[in-house]
Amino acid sequence: MEIFTSWPSWAHAEGPLSAALPAATVDDLRTAVAFAGRKHGVQQRPTGRPYTEHLLEALEVAVTGARLSDRDVLVAIVLHDVLEDTSCTEGEVARRFGPEVSAMVRWVTKPRGGSKADYLASLVKAPPRAVLVKLSDRVSNVQQLQRMPWRFQRRYYLQTVAYIMPLAGAHPWFAQWFDEWRCRWRRVERWPGQ
């Protein structure tokens, strides 16, 4: 199972992105990473690492793993948490990055006050490009699940199997990655309930 942690900063990502994508797409991604960095500010991942590392991991998953090159999908991957975790608005994303990017980010944003299960279940209705954003995000989140407390590991594993893996079925690279991941983590299914 491939792990995607080679791009902890833009300086690490820029070279591989430039080799894989058109210059205009790389420029847009540079702008999106800077924008997300300003919006997320000092936010950290649950592991204590800077939040932008997660955004770059998800981008690395998409570009080096799934070989995605769609500019709007890649920009939406970088921005996927700005509506949920910052004061950024959908209109702001649309003005800066276009309505397609804004729509994808909206699809992968858990509504305020809504349940996680309802939100994850709603993704079956998401457009295929928005699903690619969510799949890239989830690979980043689960690839090193062992860093999290065991109760979180079990809950997140079960959510991924129930809601995310079915979405991956239409995307062969993601389907294979999640199958390998599930084999590695299957022991969690045998753990006692939460």
Task: Judge residue 62's burial from the number of C-beta atoms within 10 Å of its C-beta, 0-12 exposed, 13-18 middle, 19 or more buried.
Answer: buried
Annotated catalytic residue within 85, 137, 180, 189: 85
Active site residue 118: no
Annotated catalytic residue within 14, 84, 90, 92: 84
Instruction: Give the integer Cα–Cα distance in Å for 118 and 64.
Output: 31
From 132, 86, 138, 85, select the one nearest 107 (Cα to Cα).
Answer: 132
Q: How many CA atoms within 13 Å lie on the side-chain side of 177? A: 24
- Nearby residues of 194 by Cβ (< 8 Å), 6 or more positions away: 151, 154, 155
Active site residue 28: no
Residue 184's identity, in one-letter code, is R
Active site residues: 84-85
